[in-house]
Amino acid sequence: MRAKLCKDTGVGGYRAARLVGVVPGVCTESLAHPAPNKALEPTPYSLRFAAASGRGSPLAFGVSKIETQPEGHVSCKHYSAFVRCSMKLQSLHLADYLKCTPIIDWETPAIIEQTQAITRSLTHDTEKARALFEWVRDAIPHAWDIRTDVVTCAASEVLQQRTGLCYAKSHLLAAMLRSTGIPAGFCYQVFRRHPPYHGLALHGLNGLYLPSLARWVRVDARGNTGTIDAQFSLTEEKLAFPLDPHQGEFLDETIYTDPAPEVLAVLQSFTSLHALWPYLPAPFAEDVGAISAKSEAGSVFCAAPGQQS
């Protein structure tokens, strides 16, 4: 699936992009580029963007013309929604959050079958997303909670072994969401480890896009315990762990299209969870202090790849 620029110009001076194709089960958006202010002439498969006014201003965006086509394809018709987004997107191409990769291998028959079994009776994307989230959260136990020595990484491996760390579980949830046509990416929280371990480490979770609401939602399928109560919520985020900024903890606001290389390097370097545990993935190579300062300063708008907040 690729997109090309068309001559239509959206509100706020953002040029819309015409889609060359459609993805089964989802309306796909494309990148917006600055352009002189002109009135938007609605055309099939076009998106409308409203420019953010500056740092700290969420980007409002929407689609026009959504329509279900034969064989489950979706095009845009008679639909418009403008939303606020406090998160940043690594890519504004929804197709990048739907791709099948060696790690997010959602075309594996077992993943497709399990996803269909969970969502067969559901029709709304919010219902499907909630059901898949709750299944991965509850049916796939966190590896450390059950004290297994198994290390999993690829989504199909997590499903087969029925366990994984938070990162691996986020891989499986993303694969199942993508399998049903819901764009999904990866988010990371930086937390301070408890003794006898020291320093900061990454915690993995997901960001998912609900086409019916034109909205991104962040969820944490790590797995609940007596002290952890992560939920699927459209009104407030209910993640697994609270943040303590005084300990240098923060939530990276970016929704990534692929798992972090630092995470994959650790998961693929160990075959024993007990050997891995002291070496949980560390924060990204970027300056942690600078990222934390940005996080504490407030949310930023959904930025295009490479755009500075």
Map out the domains of the chain as residue ranges: 3-84, 109-297
pTM (2 d.p.): 0.69
Burial readout 145-162 (b: 16 or more C-beta within 10 A, e: otherwise): eeebebbbbbbbbbbeee
Cβ atoms of 105 and 175 within 8 Å: the answer is: yes
Cβ atoms of 17 and 55 within 8 Å: the answer is: no
Q: Along the 309 residues of the chain, how does pLDDT read in single tens digits? A: 333 323 332 322 222 332 223 333 333 333 333 333 333 333 232 232 222 222 232 333 333 333 333 443 333 332 333 334 568 999 999 999 999 999 999 999 999 999 999 999 999 999 999 999 999 999 999 999 999 999 999 999 999 999 999 999 999 999 999 999 999 999 999 999 999 999 999 999 999 999 999 999 999 999 999 889 899 999 989 999 888 999 999 999 999 999 999 999 999 999 999 999 999 999 975 434 444 444 444 332 232 222 222
d(CA 304, CA 89): 7
* Backbone phi, psi, residue 61, to 5°: -150, 165
Q: Which residue has the tokens 């819901």?
A: 182
**Would you tell me how many other CB atoms lie within 10 Å of the CB of residue 41?**
11
d(CA 158, CA 172): 6
- Between helix 166-179 and helix 125-139 the angle, nearest 10°, is 150
CATH for the stretch 109-297: 3.10.620
